[in-house]
Amino acid sequence: MSTSESGQLWQTWQDAMTKEGFRHLQRWGRMYGVAEKARQIRKGATPSEVVYEEDRLKLLHYTGKTTPPKHRTPLIFVFALVNRPYILDLKPGRSVVGHFVDQGFDTYMIDWGVPGQADRFLTLDDYINGYIHNVVEYVRESTGAPEVSLLGYCMGGTMSAMFTALHQEKVRNLILLAAGIDFSTREGLLNLWSDSKYFDVDAFVDAHGNCPAEFLQASFLLLKPVQNLLEKPITFYENVDNDQYVDDFLTMEGWLNDNIPVPGEVFRQFVKFLYQKNLLVQNKMPVGKHLVNLRNIACPVLNIMATADDLVPCAQSQPFNDLIGSTDRKTVMVPAGHIGLAVGGKAQREVWPEACQWLGKRS
């Protein structure tokens, strides 16, 4: 390298360092406003009203622009028990619910509420043959529709699949979103960690009652510790001067940290019967007095999953379509993560309009 070349290089390095120094100062200036912004974050984008309540459960009915609804069959969102359901209606432009409401679907969502110690003995039977069943009955009665469509996300998808297998005559369409069905895979860390060799779920539930929200949150964080604990805060700091980024980040983080406990018995059944014994795919999953037989599912099924999902790997959702009795079944794989599947840009642009179209033809 000649002297002039090295001098030029040194100059470039100096300029870049100076610029970077100023950017750091700007970012630090911006950091003061972050706490205030976090307080201003609103949850939910689509107007809704509570139309039905039972114990801690609330059923939200979304009031859309098209009244009466364009499609005859109402749609019910069934969310997981581990987080709050507003991720499906996060903010304008990032709302799964919004897509369906705008397309003229009569849309409802189950908000399970936050379980207390009094709920520790609630079982999957109470949720599936109790709460979900009562919600479906309420929607059928209030709308006059003979059947409903169900959209289940994550654990809510697993419960929706079980409900459909037990009450097929009440479900017209089933959409699963990152739903765990076949738990034999060891691709995901959760599957490995919950192995009966390493995790005594009985002792855990007996000692704690409900599964604590902090335990769940720590487990989810540990799935990708470097990404969650190092990369994420640094990327946030580097983008703190981008208002849109900060708004998205705070909304997402607000939701991610809004974990809720899972009723103890449900947690026990979910871990023992699904993660440890994988009973659902064997058609031996007990729900109350009944065994779930996935072959009973005869309605159209749309099974959506994310290729980079660390919580519910594709291998866990994909086998579902081969285990059911329905002939009208479709699998959609999205290059996204577990949450990106709902709120990610690609999902919002491509997946949800397609899902609306699919459901519209069958409603």
Q: Is 154 noted as a catalytic residue in this protein? A: yes
Terminal alpha carbon distance of the chain: 71
Q: Is 338 noted as a catalytic residue in this protein? A: yes
C-beta separation of 302 from 332 below 8 A: yes
126 versus 248: smaller Cβ distance to other proteins:
126
Residue 54 binds to other proteins (criterion: CB under 8 A): yes
C-beta separation of 297 from 161 below 8 A: yes
Among 27, 37, 56, 133, binds other proteins (CB under 8 A): 133
Q: What secondary structure does DSSP assign to 266-281, as a single string?
A: HHHHIIIIIIIT--TT
33 versus 230: smaller Cβ distance to other proteins:
230
Q: Is 15 noted as a catalytic residue in this protein? A: no
C-beta separation of 189 from 223 below 8 A: yes
As measured in angstroms, the least distance from the Cβ of 17 to other proteins is: 6
**Cα separation, 340 vs 326, whole angstroms:** 28
Stretch 195-224 residues interacting with other proteins (CB under 8 A) = 195, 197-200, 203-204, 206-209, 222, 224
Residue 114 binds to other proteins (criterion: CB under 8 A): no
Both tokens of residue 88?
């499906």
**Cα separation, 180 vs 319, whole angstroms:** 10
Q: How far is CA 187 from CA 196, 282, 312, in A?
A: 16, 20, 9
Both tokens of residue 76?
């019910």
Among 129, 158, 269, 316, binds other proteins (CB under 8 A): 129
- Reduce the DSSP state of residue 51 to 3 states and report it: strand
Q: x/- binding map, residues 305-344, to other proteins, per CB under 8 A? A: ----------------------------------------
Task: Summarize as ranges the residues that interact with other proteins (CB under 8 A).
Answer: 9, 12-13, 15-17, 19-20, 44, 47-54, 58, 60, 117-118, 120-121, 125-126, 129-131, 133-134, 137-138, 142, 166-169, 189, 192-193, 195, 197-200, 203-204, 206-209, 222, 224-227, 230-231, 234, 287-290, 296
Active site residues: 154, 309, 338
